[in-house]
Amino acid sequence: MTIPLVTQLGRMTLALLATIGAVSAFAWQALRRTVQPPYYRRQILRQMLEIGYYSLPVVGLTAIFTGMVLALQSYTGFARFSAESAIPNVVVVSLTRELGPVLAGLMVAGRVGAAMAAEIGTMRVTEQIDALKTLSTDPFKYLVAPRLIAGVVTLPILVLIADIIGVMGGFLVGVYKLDFNDATYLRNTVDFLQFQDVLSGLVKAAVFGFLITLMGCYHGYTSKGGAQGVGIATTNAVVSASILILTANYFITEAFFAL
């Protein structure tokens, strides 16, 4: 232990700031070139299919079990002071505001963010990104922009579907296990739901979509050193996207509901 603690602390701080700077510069480049033509429509559609359609099974399963367990858990709590009628509302508000976007975001980060980092990282280490440049194609416009657009557009749709499936999960448990009247359950679900609950969830989803694709592209694009480098990039993409999702989630919630 020859390096003093202060030195180490200083190095870590500098490294952190350097990373933040690099990511910001990358994000700025990506955004700037996303709005400039040419737009690769086929690539955007392909990515939307990849992020949205192929994530449906895993996000749907997550949503239905989350809705079910929410109904079950809140019943055991609320039954103690005869507030069972609040269960449908608890389920739908928790799902639309928090659990829908956050859980869908985390699942997509694991599924899509990792795949993106691996694909772009492999293209980097096998010189395919250099090859794109020599063919007069901007890798930001061809690789990064379609993924960012697809992420921001597709994740809210995915979350909306997850919300519906989750509420259905709660409904199934409520009606078939907890002996709710089905019409009452649905009425309680809809009556107390506010537009802002759903809207805040969808805004979160769009932000998470941006963060997931940005992290996947950034770590893939900057990966180096062969198979090991691509492996590190993949891990970093998932971990950083997950942390950013949870952090951003708090601040968006505060912006919407703190008043």
d(C-alpha 160, C-alpha 148), whole Å:
19
d(C-alpha 259, C-alpha 256), whole Å:
8
d(C-alpha 108, C-alpha 139), whole Å:
23
Helix (H) or strand (E) holding 26: helix 5-35
CA-CA-CA-CA dihedral for 113, 114, 118, 124, to nearest 10: 40
Q: Which stretch binds other proteins (CB under 8 A): 129-137, 156-164, 187-195, 207-215?
A: 129-137
d(C-alpha 39, C-alpha 46), whole Å:
13
142 binds other proteins (CB under 8 A): yes
- Which of residues 122 and 154 has its CB atom nearest to other proteins in the complex? 122
- Which of residues 76 and 134 has its CB atom nearest to other proteins in the complex? 134
136 binds other proteins (CB under 8 A): yes
254 binds other proteins (CB under 8 A): no
From the list 8, 126, 196, 235, which residue makes contact with other proteins (rule: CB under 8 A)?
126
> DSSP assignment, residue 202?
H
Q: Which stretch binds other proteins (CB under 8 A): 84-92, 130-138, 164-172, 173-181?
A: 130-138
Inter-CA distances, 56 with 41, 121, 143, Å: 22, 25, 23
127 binds other proteins (CB under 8 A): yes
- Around Cβ 100, how many Cβ atoms within 10 Å? 32
Q: Which stretch binds other proteins (CB under 8 A): 79-87, 119-127, 145-153, 194-202?
A: 119-127
Distant-in-sequence, close-in-space partners of 110: CB < 8 Å, separation ≥ 6: 238, 242
Counting Cα atoms < 13 Å in the Cβ hemisphere of 16 gives 6
34 binds other proteins (CB under 8 A): no
131 binds other proteins (CB under 8 A): yes
Using DSSP's 3-state secondary structure scheme, residue 94 falls into helix
CB of 146 to other proteins, least distance (A): 13
182 binds other proteins (CB under 8 A): no
Q: How many residues bind other proteins (CB under 8 A)?
A: 15
- Which of residues 40 and 192 has its CB atom nearest to other proteins in the complex? 40
2 binds other proteins (CB under 8 A): no
Q: What are phi and psi of 127, to 5 degrees?
A: 65, 15
Interface of this chain with other proteins, residues 64 to 103, rule: CB under 8 A: none
128 binds other proteins (CB under 8 A): yes
- C-alpha 188 chain-centroid distance: 29
- Which of residues 82 and 134 has its CB atom nearest to other proteins in the complex? 134
From the list 134, 179, 183, 191, which residue makes contact with other proteins (rule: CB under 8 A)?
134
Binding site for other proteins (CB under 8 A): 40, 119, 123, 126-128, 130-131, 133-138, 142
